Amino acid sequence: MPEVTDFQSHREAAQRRMQRRRDAAFLFGVDYISDLPVRPLSLRLWLILDAMGSVFATGKFPSSGDDIGSEIRRFLWAVSVDFSHDKKERTAFIRRVDKLDAMAVLVDIRDYLDRAFADSPYNQGCRKSVPHASVAAEVVDHFATQYGWTPDVTLNLPLAQLWQLRNCIASRTQKQPVFANREVDQSARDWLKAQGN
């Protein structure tokens, strides 16, 4: 029986981590990547990153590590609370970024994105037919229908909040909604791996 108890305590710890992450999404108006203040990732900001071809949005990383520095700079400037169209401000910001440890920044960017999408119902294979609208339009329509929100409200809300609110709607409107619990699922995989399974 100790294995079951150990698994349960492992699972409960993952649930506590998940709840802290979910609560934190509603507490702070600023996030951080390597001590740089950044805006929480919103649907609008995600669309901007995708439109500018950021490898962190497209997943199309360069074959050599040579270009990753410029990708880090572009990404951090786009999400920075200091973002502006002023070239001098951008140059000063880039100097600060260049002093950071690139590997640590990459880990922080991954964590930033993971937190934003942890409760997301969307993945690349979720659509079974040719889409009739962008995912952004579907999300905006969903919240306009449910809460009466304007597009700007939905587009600017942090994704970590948006996905949780979507889950609340699903729990209220669907008979048997299915939710992603990535921390709990990963915890179970880690525990099984540690057991040699």
> Is 167 a member of any domain?
yes
51, 53, 45: which is closest to 155 by C-alpha? 45
Looking at the domain assignment, is residue 44 inside a domain?
yes
Domain that holds residue 45: 2-122+133-190
Domain assignment present for 128: no
pLDDT at 169: 94
Is 92 a member of any domain? yes
Q: Which amino acid is at 122?
A: Y
Query: Under a CB-based contact definition with an 8 Å cutoff, are residues 97 and 76 in contact?
Result: yes
Instruction: Count structural domains, the chain.
Output: 1
Phi, psi of 151 (to 5 degrees): -55, -40
Q: Is the pLDDT of residue 122 over 70?
A: no
Binned at pLDDT 50, 70 and 90, residue 48 comes out as very high
| Structural domain includes residue 51 | yes
Structural domain includes residue 196: no
List the one residue out of 80, 71, 69, 68 whose CA is nearest residue 41.
80
The average pLDDT across 143-165 equals: 96
Average pLDDT of the chain? 87
pLDDT score recorded for residue 74: 95
Half-sphere exposure of residue 103: CA atoms within 13 angstroms, side-chain side:
0
To the nearest 10°, report the CA torsion of 178, 184, 189, 194.
-160
Question: Roughly how many angstroms between the first and final C-alpha of the chain, as a whole number?
Answer: 17
Paired tokens of 101: 């440890």
- Please report which confidence band the pLDDT of residue 123 belongs to, taking 50, 70 and 90 as the band edges: low
Evaluate whether residue 195 is within a structural domain: no
For residue 172, pLDDT over 70 is answered with yes
**CB of 122 within 8 A of CB of 135?**
yes
Residue 125 is predicted with a pLDDT of 46
Question: What's at 94, amino acid-wise?
Answer: I
pLDDT digits (tens, 9 = 90+) for 11-29: 788 888 888 888 888 998 8
Whether residue 197 lies inside any domain: the answer is no
The rounded percent of the chain whose pLDDT value lies above 70 is 89
